[in-house]
Structure 1
Amino acid sequence: MNGTAIRVNQLLNPQTGKAVIVAFDHGGSGVPPGGGDVSGILAAVAESRAEGLLVGPGVARQAGRYFARPGAPRLIVSMDAPIFSSMCGEHGKIRDHARIATAEHLMMLGATAAKVLLPVGYEGTEIFTKGVELVRSCAMECQALGLPLMVEPALWGVKASEKDNALIEHSARMSVELGADILKIPAPTDTAVLERIVRNAGVPVMTLGGAPRDAEGFAADMQAWMSTGVAGVVVGRNVWSRPNPAGAVDALVGAVHENNPEAVAAGWAAAGEPAA
């Protein structure tokens, strides 16, 4: 078993083979709503029952004081940042993405895995081709060091939609072909499509949480996702934008590891409302 396989398994709960990962890599273009207290969020997630925390390299530098202990969540660190505008804090359709770290640098930061975007839906092929080359170069670097690479097909271009099930399936396959060791994907609305992706990917597939939403709807989605055999969830604003992030993680743990999707609805209420 090589280093990549060992580190992938380190991200998964040994009892269930699944993971709850908190995504807090949203600061690459500015301060996200509810995400300004970096040290407070790091401290809360470090003491939670999450298997992992996804952050950018700058925040990863601050994480050592919270995560350098036995049993702490593992760090996954981004190798790139999305470009939405030339003005920090502006969002919308993606315009580009830029490399911000090397695999060697992430190993120095204590990463158990790396993450990179595969932006999809640009108007032209030139910028998409550059993005494909970025993903592949990241994958080659990571493979050389035994560092797993999580690839996220980002359906954020003007021609793409996260509700396009066929596009999710195509972009998941492309991500695997480019070297993904873990997939982080928007969940198709058709569970049959998600089942097919999980069955055919050959790597762990995790669904992303998306924007904050009502507890009942999210609980129902969680139940549907877990029934397909996904390896877990990567949830951001639905966790750290709430007053009690650790309580939100507990809710996800109940759904992912304890087969109790109702825990999400109850846990969301206990964790408080997300920031607007």
Structure 2
Amino acid sequence: MANRYSTNYRMNRIFSDDRAALIVPIDHGLVWGRVEALEAPVKVMKRFLKEDVTGFMVSTGIVKQSEVMLAKAPAMARVLAIDAFWPTSAVETGTGTLVASVEDAARLGVDCVKLLLPWNVTDAEKVLYCQRIGIVVSEASKWHIPVMVEPVFLNTPRSPEIIEKELEVARVGYDLGADIIKITFPGPDATAKLVDELDIPIVVAGGPLSGDAASTIKDIKDAISAGAQGVVVGRKIWQRPEAEAAELIAEVAKITRENYTRHW
């Protein structure tokens, strides 16, 4: 009983009753190093702290360097990426590993841990990922920390077939014990299907910068209207000019309030 309530405390820091979560990811350096417009991630965090966002997806280093700043903004949720995969450009020979532990997450005071679940990898790598996630879920239950799992086909063009496969891998993550599924926006119908099938929050990721601001707004509105409990949007916003990014994040925030229906 204590475990359930403690985990719910953190879940309700991530998700509120009156809006969808709006999480800005700035953890990209774990996999890609020095990403354009994210060369100084804590400065990016400082910019978006002024906006109507609900939290950040971070790495251990970012947590350490921003702890004083975030102590002054206690309402902000933090999702800690605790694994990585290298290289994403050669998934047939790449490998994943943990880069932080659940105990680290508890010590750092974050609200959730996040792991990838790549599926266009070797069978041996799939085994390692499933084992790793299972162990993390077990450890997280001891520390009362929610686990977010992200099914993904690395370095693969998105197509209807890939999107359908991602939905299948989302079910694998669910059965491994995920508390939250993060998935690149699969379209409104697929989002609604996933929300209907899985009794845990679904959050959608924006992916790389592409299209104009209007297409980003439309995708986010469609996702939340379809039942997504949050959006994790970074490059589509902070890789734009600062003034445009500020306008766009304000519009996204408005959508997270006006189009939201709680589903858990």
Partner of 2:5: 2
1:52 offset after TM fit, Å? Answer: 1.3
Kept in 1, the 8 Å contact 2:95–2:125? The answer is: yes
Give secondary structure in 2 for the equivalent of 1:233.
strand
| 1:81 correspondence with 2:79 | no
Look up the match of 1:202: 199
SS across alignment from 2:57: strand
Deviation >6 Å, runs of 4+: none
Cα shift readout 1:194-223 (whole Å, capped 9, x = no counterpart): 211111111100010011121122222122
Residue correspondence of structure 1 range 1-276 to structure 2 within 5 A: 1-16=4-19, 18-29=20-31, 30-84=33-87, 92-94=89-91, 95-122=94-121, 124-156=122-154, 161=158, 163=160, 164-189=162-187, 191-213=188-210, 214-244=212-242, 245-259=245-259
CA distance in 2, matches of 1:197, 1:240: 28
Q: How far 1:93 sits from its partner (Å)? A: 4.2
Question: CA offsets per residue over residues 116-152 of structure 1, 9 Å max, x none?
Answer: 1111111x31111111111111111111111011111
SS in 1 for 2:115: strand
> How many residues are paired up?
250
Cα distance in 2 between the residues matched to 1:215 and 1:126: 40
Deviations 1:3-22 (A, max 9, x none): 11221111123323x21011
How far does residue 247 in structure 1 lie from its aligned partner after superposition? 4.2
The worse-fitting range, judged by mean Cα deviation, of 49-58 and 36-45 is: 36-45
TM-score (normalizing by structure 2) = 0.88
Amino acid in structure 1 at the alignment position of 2:256: V
Please give the per-residue CA displacement for 1:57-81, whole angstroms capped at 9, x wherever unaligned. 1111112121102444211101101
Residue type of the alignment partner of 2:100 = A
Pick closer, same or farther for the CA change 1:227–1:152 going to 2, 3 Å.
same
Distance, in Å, in 2 between the alignment partners of 1:128 and 1:47 is 40
Instruction: Give the equivalent residue in structure 2 for 1:273.
Output: none
Equivalents in 2 of 1:258, 1:44: separation in Å?
24
Give the residue type in structure 1 aligned to 2:24: V
The answer to whether the Cα contact below 8 Å between 2:29 and 2:35 also exists between their aligned partners in 1 is yes
CA distance in 2 between counterparts of 1:72 and 1:37 reads: 23
Of the structure 1 ranges 39-48 and 174-183, higher mean CA displacement relative to structure 2 is found in: 39-48
The one-letter code of the counterpart of 2:222 is: A
Aligned 8 A contact 2:89 2:155 in 1:
no
Instruction: Note if contact 1:77-1:113 (Cα within 8 Å) is conserved in structure 2.
Output: yes
8 Å CA contact 1:56, 1:78 repeated in 2: yes
> Counterpart of 1:88?
none
CA distance in 2, matches of 1:235, 1:220: 13
Q: Secondary structure at the match of 1:2?
A: helix
CA offset at residue 161 of structure 1?
4.5
CA distance in 1, matches of 2:158, 2:128: 21
Identity %: 25
